[in-house]
Amino acid sequence: MRGARALAASWPVAETLWWEAPMAQLGPSGRPLSAEPASFQEAVRTLNTLQTNANYLEQVKRQRGDPQTQLEAMKLYLARSGLQVEDLDQLNIIHITGTKGKGSTCAFAERILRSYGLKTGFFSSPHLVQVRERIRINGQPISPELFTKYFWRLYHRLDETKDDSSCVSMPSYFRFLTLMAFHVFLQEKVDLAVMEVGIGGAYDCTNIIRKPVVCGVSSLGIDHTGLLGDTMEKIAWQKGGIFKCGVPAFTVPQPDAPLAVLRDRAQEISCPLYLCPPLEALEEGGPPLTLGLEGEHQRSNAALALQLTHCWLQQKGHQDIGELKTSRPSLLGQLPLAPVFQPTSRMRHGLRDTEWLGRTQVLRRGPLTWYLDGAHTTSSMQACVRWFRQALHRRERPSSGSEVRVLLFNSTGDRDSAALLKLLQPCQFDYAVFCPNLTEMSSADNADQQNFTVTLDQVLLRCLAHQQHWSHLQEEQASPGLWSTPSSEPGGPTSLLLAPHPPHTHSTSSLVFSCITHALQWISQGRDPVWQPPSPPRSLLAHPVAGSGAIVLHEAAAIHVLVTGSLHLVGGVLKLLEPSLSQ
Q: Which residues are annotated as a binding site for Mg(2+)?
A: 125, 196, 224
Q: What is the DSSP secondary-structure string of 308-375? A: HHHHHHHHTT-S-S--B----PPSTTTSPBPPPB---HHHHHHHHH---TTSSEEEEETTEEEEE---
- Give the separation between CA 207 and CA 241, rounded to whole angstroms: 8
Is residue 168 helix, strand or coil?
Answer: strand
- CB of 496 within 8 A of CB of 489? yes
Quick one: three-class SS letters along 388-456? Answer: HHHHHHHCCCCCCCCEEEEEEECCCCCCCHHHHHHHHHHHCCCEEEECCCCCCCCCCCCHHHCCCCCCH
DSSP 215: E
Helix (H) or strand (E) holding 140: strand 140-141
DSSP 562: E
Q: For 49-172, where are the alpha helices, taking DSSP H only? A: 54-62, 67-80, 102-114, 144-160
Strand partners of residue 100: 219
Amino acid sitting at position 468:
Q
Residues making up the annotated binding site for ATP are 359, 373
- Give the separation between CA 141 and CA 304, rounded to whole angstroms: 24
- Give the separation between CA 19 and CA 514, rounded to whole angstroms: 9
Sign of the Cα torsion 463, 465, 466, 471 reads positive
- CB of 540 within 8 A of CB of 515? no
- Give the separation between CA 261 and CA 246, rounded to whole angstroms: 18
DSSP 100: B
* Separation of first and last alpha carbons in the chain: 41
Residues making up the annotated binding site are 125, 196, 224, 359, 373
- Give the separation between CA 305 and CA 325, rounded to whole angstroms: 18
Is residue 509 helix, strand or coil?
Answer: strand
Tally of CB atoms within 10 A around 185 = 28
Helix (H) or strand (E) holding 300: helix 298-315
- Give the separation between CA 365 and CA 370, rounded to whole angstroms: 8
CB contact set of 387 (below 8 Å; sequence gap of 6+): 294, 295, 296, 297, 360, 371, 373
Is residue 96 helix, strand or coil?
Answer: strand
Sign of the Cα torsion 169, 174, 175, 179 reads positive
CB contact set of 327 (below 8 Å; sequence gap of 6+): 337, 339, 340
